[in-house]
A and B are shown apart, each in its own frame.
Chain A
Amino acid sequence: MKINIPTPLRAFTDKQATVEVNGATIQAGLDALVAAHPELKNHLFTPDGKLRSFVNVYLNDDDVRYLPAAEASAVSADDELTIIPSIAGGTGISASRVPCCR
């Protein structure tokens, strides 16, 4: 299966935007990706092996977290995984109290 790598993580995939891996499940595919590019591990997973909260993984157009079997979902060679970090922010609090620009 093909795994799409976001720009900030390509430093750890030899600048490859996509990586081809073999695996029968999403988890197996991610494991194969990390095996091929070990530096990705800390960026994708917490020390206890869970996907970091800001790392989204999509199987084609579906958020893996919401699939019935989540990372254990079966995949085929034609499937595409996309790793996409979250993008969010904003002033967050009222204008008079924002501690900006440390």
Chain B
Amino acid sequence: MKLHITQADYDALRAHGEETYPHECCGVLLGHAKDDGNHVAAIVRAGNTRTDSAHNRYNISPMELIKIQREGRKQGLDIVGFYHSHPDHPAMWSSTDFAEAHWFGCCYVITSVDKGKANLTNAFHLAGTTEDDKAFQQEEILITKAVGENA
């Protein structure tokens, strides 16, 4: 399983993390779930509602998520993942990320932003079907030239 994403979208989600530094950014990956992994067709920036602790927490409001989902469906796209940044922290999932992860089958992309500059970006597939058996599995990010193509 790999995360398929265009260079433009990959660059854009990393740039988002630089723009919001030292706060966490967050957004949604729209696309299609296929046998070889999730294919991203578009990314949508979202607001971080955790203004009380934006340097180390993020939350997307459910209503914003619903609106993104609605717009996605109009284009034939589903929510296949999310992204957020870790300011001055590794691009690895935290215990908070794991506890708050409920979108099974989706990909959680994390970018470390060190001193304002995007560093490493990793993708984690939320495997399992319940809160009891869920697990993050790191997966390769496959940069494509265009949506639906392999580089």
A interface residues, Cβ below 8 angstroms from B: 4, 6-8, 11, 17, 42-43, 54-56, 58, 61, 63, 82, 84-95, 98-101
Contacts and interface: CB of A to CB of B under 8 A. Distances in A.
Interface in B36-90: 50, 53, 56-60, 62-63, 65-66, 69, 73, 78-80, 82, 84, 86-90
Interface of B: 24, 26, 28, 33, 50, 53, 56-60, 62-63, 65-66, 69, 73, 78-80, 82, 84, 86-90, 92-106, 108, 126, 129-130
B92 A101 contact: yes
A58 B101 CA distance: 20
Contacts of A11: 104-105, 129
A4 B78 CA distance: 12
A88 B93 contact: no
Given A8-B126, A90-B24, 6 more contacts: A8-B105, A11-B105, A88-B58, A89-B97, A89-B100, A90-B96
Given A7-B105, A84-B69, A100 B79 contact: no
